[in-house]
Structures are given as C-alpha cells and as structure tokens.
Structure 1
Amino acid sequence: MSKAEFEDRCRLVLVTQPGDDVDAQGEALSQALSGGDVATVIVPQAGRDNDLFQTLAEKLVPIAQDKGVAVIIAGDSRVAGRARADGLHVEGATSDAAEAIEKFSPKLIVGIGNAKDRHGALERGELRPDYIFFGKLDGDIKPEANPKVLDLAEWWSAMIEIPCIAMGGTAVSSALEVAEAGGEFVALGKAIFDHPSGPAAAVQEVNALLAEKAPRFSD
C-alpha cells in the first residue's frame, strides 16, 4: 500500500461509490487514478447483489492494478478471489476478522474495520491485520472528518505500529485533518467522486494539499 517516495506522509485511499452502472464506475475510477498518487482502492458492496458486485469488481480491479494500485474488496471473499483483488476488508465481528486473517493472510491484504472505540481497536489490533480502518466506508456525510474518527486515529498512530486508514469527509480539506491527526492513510469517497471538477482534479488537489501541508512521519 505504499511507494517509497510517499512513505513519509499521509496517502490517499479511494472508496468507490454506490451505483449500478459498472461502466460509469470504471470511468470514474480511471479518471481518479489519472489525477495522481493513490495508495489503495476499497470497493464496498454497498447493497449490490452478489452478481452485480462480482461484475463491478471484475471491472474495477484491472483498472487499478494496471496503475500499480492495490484493490481491496469490502464484501464476500469469493468475489475478491474471482476478481483477483489484492485484499479483503472485513467489517464484521472480531471473530470474522480472525477467520479472514487466518485463511487469507499473507496471500491477501486483510484489513479490519468496525473499530468503534479504543477497546475494540486494540482487540482487532491483536489479530495483526495489515491495517485498521476508523470510521464507516459510507461515513463521509459532512464536509469535515468525524471528530471521533480523528481522535481514534491520533491515539492509534501514537501507540501502534499497524497503520490506520481514517475516513475523511466530503471536502478535500478533510484529508489534511486526518493527516494532522497522524493517520497514515485518509479514505475519501464523495470528496473525490462528487467533486465539481471531477475525480482527477480532486485527487490532484488532495495530493497537492498533503504534499504541501501534511506533517511528515519520523523514521
């Protein structure tokens, strides 16, 4: 999930959006990836039936991988396998996460969400996932990042070596909020795909903001 030249600052993770038009989803992702550095793409099922989700995954995975960007499926592991995705995002109980890590790691990236508080985060961290995700994949409902998410990211990044991804808001500027809290990765969805100037311009804007103003990580 990282490139050497960007390892010392917060990086962008894309969260693809709801919608049944697979071709439109593919075009939106292609545009976003043309805008600059993206660490990872997370593809949530977002209420789609399994057949449509499979079709979508098979459309999006090669688009991202052709750009050297990993794709993580937030849904059925069979979809991830058939689409040849790079990883699996687990939102269920701790036991579900443990099962996924045992079954798929290190063959696949396995990340864990649904860490709602410090206790839950530590419990999931004991499983040694590849990352922990703070916030909801569809939690970008306000321009700014959720303060609780920022608090968890700040606490986690100061204590734990496992990287965290924190969900931002609907505004590009929320990426800097996550970076300033210490998050290694900021997840953006609507801020990218609903940007008035388009996904490519949004990614370019995020990267320019992080390159100029985001704090650097110490070795």
Structure 2
Amino acid sequence: MKFPANRPRLVLVVPSPASEGHTSETLLATLDKALTAGDIASVILDNAKADEASFQAFAALAVAKIQSSGAAAIVLNDTRTAGRVSADGVHIEGSRADIADAVERYTPKMIVGTGNVKERHTALEVGELQPDYMFFGKIGADSKAEAHPRNLSLAEWWAAMVEIPAIVQAGSKIDDLAACFATRAEFIALGAAVFSADKPEQVVADANRQLDEMSAADTEE
C-alpha cells in the first residue's frame, strides 16, 4: 500500500506480557484485532520484566501474526530472542555503545532502531551510528493522554533536518494525533491507546482515518 509523502504510518507498541493488567493471551487477542483494523507499518514487542523463556514463547506467536499481516516485527533490546523467533528487527534502548554494536552486527539483515533520547545533541550523536529509525519517546512511557511535548519538539526538529525516519510516541489517547502529525515524523507510535482500549480495532481504524483526513487537508493547503 502506497501513501502520500505527508501521511505518517502507525507503529504499534505491544506491552510486555509481564506488565500489570496484561497476559500473553490478552495481548495476542488484542494484537489480532488491531492488525486487521487498518494499516500498521511495524510492531515493537516490549519485554520489560518478562523472563526470557516465557517472552520468547509469546514473541514467537506475536511475530507470526505480525508478519502474516504484512507488518515488521521488532523486539525490544533482546537480540537473541529476536533471532530465535525470526523477528525483522531489534529496538535498542541503551548506551551509545550498545546501539553501535547492534548496528554493526545486525545491519542490514535486520532493522535496528533506537530511541529514548532527551535532547538534540544526544540524538545527533546516536544518529551518526546510522540506525534505521529514531523513536522519540520511551517504550512503555505513554501513560498520559497526550504526547510528551519534548517528544513532539524533538521529532519535529529531527524530521526537518535528518533523513533517518522518525517515530513519535503518541499518548494513551488518540485525541492528540494532530500534534503528532504536525511534527512531520514518518511514523506515529501507539501503545496504551490500543492495548488499554475496550475496542482496540476501533482505535486503529479511527487513527488511520484521522491520518488520511489530515494528509488530504494538508495536501490541499
């Protein structure tokens, strides 16, 4: 599916199966609904506080669902599990040395992305390592309804001057998608907005509809 250049795509962030209020079963059921409700470019799997064996079992099922939908499956920090479940990539939240090592070892056979930068200088230093994308936000830190102003500001600055694609983390509701759209980031990440929703499929459908409308209106201006 081809989209206009000004139309960001969605990235899902799946909470860890060890996180409060979630289990592997509920997350997989929600993922099924979300993936069939509208366009999703990629999915990042959070593994916070999960033991390696149980997360790997969960990830194997999740990756199969994600890839069968046409999206890319990305695992947070755990390169070993990512390889074992044939994920498409890894998302590294760590030191500059960790990011550099992952880029050197796994590019181009896997997607290597990173994020959780809090100021411009660090972002530029990390950008010199040539990750496949920069995520403005921290995985799992979308508990507030609106996107964090710092993430919006950094994503807007980055998208205007750096070729490496930007993902901006939205809030726990999709009411502020216009602010995310305005950054010109190539992707918008939804986590709690989908996985804490009563009707996740409706959230994904509504988000895609809003982005279509914003893109069309922006083109007409």
TM range (shorter): over 0.9
After TM superposition, give the deviation of residue 75 of structure 1 in Å: 2.4
Please give the alpha-carbon distance, in whole angstroms, between the structure 1 residues aligned to 2:89 and 2:218.
Answer: 27
Aligned residues: 214
Farther off after superposition, 83-92 or 10-19 = 10-19
**Aligned twin of 1:208:** 209
Superimposed CA distance per residue, residues 114-151 of structure 1 (whole angstroms, 9 cap, x where no aligned partner): 21110110001001110011111112121110000000
Give the corresponding residue for 2:10: 12
**How far is 1:19 from its partner?**
2.9
Q: CA deviation at 1:73?
A: 0.3
Please say if residues 129 and 162 of structure 1, whose CA atoms lie closer than 8 Å, have aligned partners that are also in contact: yes
Could you state the TM-score of these two structures normalised by the residue count of structure 1?
0.93
Alignment deviations for residues 37-87 of structure 1 (CA, whole Å, 9 cap, x no partner): 001000011211111111111010000100111000002101000000000
Q: Is the 8 A contact 2:135 2:168 kept in 1?
A: yes
1:124 counterpart SS class: helix
The percent of aligned pairs where both chains have the same amino acid is 43
Q: Residue in 1 aligned with 2:200?
A: 199
Distance 1:16 1:7 in 2: 26
Instruction: Please say if residues 15 and 47 of structure 2, whose CA atoms lie closer than 8 Å, have aligned partners that are also in contact.
Output: no
Q: CA deviation at 1:23?
A: 2.3
Q: Residue 131 of structure 1 corresponds to which residue in structure 2? A: 133
Distance 1:174 1:8 in 2: 17
CA gap of 1:124–1:177, structure 2 versus 1, over 3 A, is same
Residue of 29, 32, 36 corresponding to 1:30: 32
Task: Report the Cα offset of residue 6 of structure 1.
Answer: 5.3
CA distance in 2, matches of 1:44, 1:19: 8
Given the two structures, how large is their TM-score scaled by the length of structure 2?
0.92
